[in-house]
Amino acid sequence: MLKIITGILLAGFLVIALSEPTNYDNFKLVEIRLETDDQVKLVHDLEEADSEFDLWNLAKKDVKIAIVLLSPQAFAKYSQLFDNLKIKYQVVERNIQNKINEQARSMVRAKNDRNIILKYARYTEILSFIDSTVAANSDIASSYVYGKTYQNRNLKAIVLKTPTTTRSIWIDCGIHAREWVSPASCVYLIDRFIREYRSGEPETVAIMNKYEIHITPLLNPDGYEYSQTTSRLWRKNRSPNQFSSCVGTDLNRNFPYRWL
């Protein structure tokens, strides 16, 4: 089970990094066993208080494992704390940079592939995919720009609909910059919706005949591009914060409801 959890997390977080990226040598991925509510609360408190305590999964009462990425300095500090509090933990990856390097080598072959389905594409490639998809399927697809980022990148969504649609669905991906599998999943979903609708797959046809589907594959393009070029494990956007030297805001559903 541990290997499965770790593999899923690494698939989502650790892919090719470009252009002099931040080095994560000797950063450790640590599994923490949560046995009490107080331990769950401690993990959340540490995440809130210290940016070096980088929690990779949602720790809660019915989830008995927290997985956290720690710098060498943070590991020295927190391993001592865990020992003192008798909290069980183990190191599951001793040098996360090795995983980044390994996946970077495996991604080189896909770099020049123009088909971005099942690929970790760049921001401009994703926009081009939306535009070409709409051009080829104008009877059921359209797109719109719903805003701009701090770094002046367009926020674009694609809409899939038929004349009989009566309700709307919103699907977004790429809120957290480092989770590259998320935008790739939205791109795949768009492609699959259209292919299955065209082929007459009954369930997909029924969905599209009822719902107007809005999909934005990349909600955080500034952070996503920064994770591609500079810091592979960057999570937030790139906007400055007033009265703080810290850059970026976690966009994790950080907007009001009933806006669509």
Residue with tokens 């896909």: 110
The whole-angstrom separation of Cα 68 and Cα 245 is: 24
Q: Residue 189 CB: number of other CB atoms within 10 A?
A: 16
Q: In this predicted structure, what is the pLDDT of residue 69?
A: 95
Identify the CATH class of 113-230. Answer: alpha beta
The whole-angstrom separation of Cα 132 and Cα 116 is: 12
Q: In this predicted structure, what is the pLDDT of residue 245?
A: 83
pLDDT tens for the chain, 260 residues long, are: 444 445 545 555 544 334 457 899 999 999 999 988 899 889 989 988 898 999 988 655 566 889 999 999 999 999 999 999 999 999 999 999 998 888 777 666 656 666 888 888 999 999 999 999 999 999 999 999 999 999 999 999 999 999 999 899 999 999 999 999 999 999 999 999 999 999 999 999 999 999 999 999 999 999 999 998 899 999 999 999 888 888 998 888 667 776 65
Query: How far is the CA of 52 from the CAs of 49, 71, 135, 179, 209, in angstroms?
Result: 9, 7, 45, 18, 47
The whole-angstrom separation of Cα 244 and Cα 106 is: 39
The beta-strand segments (E) located in 149-196 are 154-160, 167-172
Q: In this predicted structure, what is the pLDDT of residue 259?
A: 61
Listed by start position, the domains of the chain span 28-101, 113-230
Considering the domain delimited by 28-101, tell me its CATH architecture.
2-Layer Sandwich (3.30)
The whole-angstrom separation of Cα 142 and Cα 177 is: 25
Residue with tokens 């720009």: 145
Q: In this predicted structure, what is the pLDDT of residue 12?
A: 52
> Six-digit token pair at 226?
């920064």
Residue with tokens 């999909």: 215
Q: Phi first, then psi: what are they for 53, rounded to 5°?
A: -95, 90
Q: In this predicted structure, what is the pLDDT of residue 61?
A: 57
Q: pTM (2 decimals)?
A: 0.76
The whole-angstrom separation of Cα 237 and Cα 225 is: 10
